[in-house]
Amino acid sequence: MSKVTSLQTYDEPIRVNKRIYKISNEYIVKLISSKSLLAKEDIFYEIKIARISHSMGIPVAEPIICDYVKIYGKIQMGFIMEYVAGIEGSNEEYNKSKHPDTDLQLSNQLYEVERTKAFNLGIFIVEPQWILTNDKKIKFIDVAKWQYKGLEYPFKRISENFKDYTEI
Ligand SMILES: Nc1ncnc2c1ncn2[C@@H]1O[C@H](COP(=O)(O)OP(=O)(O)OP(=O)(O)O)[C@@H](O)[C@H]1O
Ligand SMILES: [Mg+2]
């Protein structure tokens, strides 16, 4: 029996980004970074914070499992999550460009709502990255640096005290 997950249905996964591959119509995988000595790239932390956020109703790409996939013939461990189609955004992009683009404005408003909701649940959103879906909802991706009260954090915390929170 192959150790490759049955969630992978593409024999030839499609590369989306440096270490992100689409493995089926529904799922992508995020491979362990080659720079993984830096804990900040840790997919095992990322799946934990993604599961917590998802279970509390914060719209993150649905986390599935960390499992083996086969990319270019090589079996590798990765974090499998829902593939989200749409337009990518981040608050940085918005702040930089002050773009009049309505989608970008909408996604930033949605982000502000989620940021407050998350914060009140004890989730601290760091370096937000999201996708605005075709039905005009946002789903966060790359939650690797988010924090949750009580969850051991592998990096230096931006804020030890949530009350110090101003802007991220
Ligand atoms: N769940 C997803 N659905 C669709 N596309 C995704 C998803 N997750 C990641 N991507 C795509 O892959 C890119 C990189 O993902 P991510 O930011 O998680 O990886 P990274 O290694 O931190 O990359 P970077 O250093 O560029 O931020 C995203 O900008 C997006 O284009
Ligand atoms: Mg990223």
Asked whether 98 lines ligand 1 (CB < 6 A), one says: no
Report the C-alpha gap between 30 and 60 in whole angstroms: 15
Which of 14, 15, 16 is the best mutation target for the ligand 1 pocket, counting ligand atoms within 8 Å of the beta carbon and taking the most?
A: 16
Q: Which of 82, 111, 126 is the last residue of a domain?
A: 82
Q: Where are the alpha helices (DSSP H) in the chain?
A: 43-55, 91-97, 102-120
Q: How many domains does the chain have?
A: 2
Q: Is residue 120 part of a domain?
A: yes
From the centroid of its chain, how far is CA 108? 17
Asked whether 47 lines ligand 1 (CB < 6 A), one says: no
The pLDDT value given to residue 34:
73
Q: For the whole model, what pTM was predicted? A: 0.89
pLDDT single digits (tens) 21-55? 999 999 999 998 876 555 555 899 999 999 999 99
Q: Is residue 5 part of a domain?
A: no
One domain, residues 110 and 75: no
- 3-state SS assignment for residue 65: strand
Q: Is residue 20 part of a domain?
A: yes
Confidence check: pLDDT of 3 > 60:
yes
Whole-number Å distance, alpha carbon 141 to ligand 1 midpoint, is 7
pLDDT band for 161, please (50, 70, 90 cuts).
low
The pLDDT value given to residue 90:
87
pLDDT band for 165, please (50, 70, 90 cuts).
very low
Q: Which of 82, 107, 124 is the last residue of a domain?
A: 82
Q: Where are the alpha helices (DSSP H) in 56-158?
A: 91-97, 102-120
**Ligand minimally distant from the alpha carbon of residue 130:** 1
Bigger pLDDT: 159 or 122? 122
The pLDDT value given to residue 163:
47
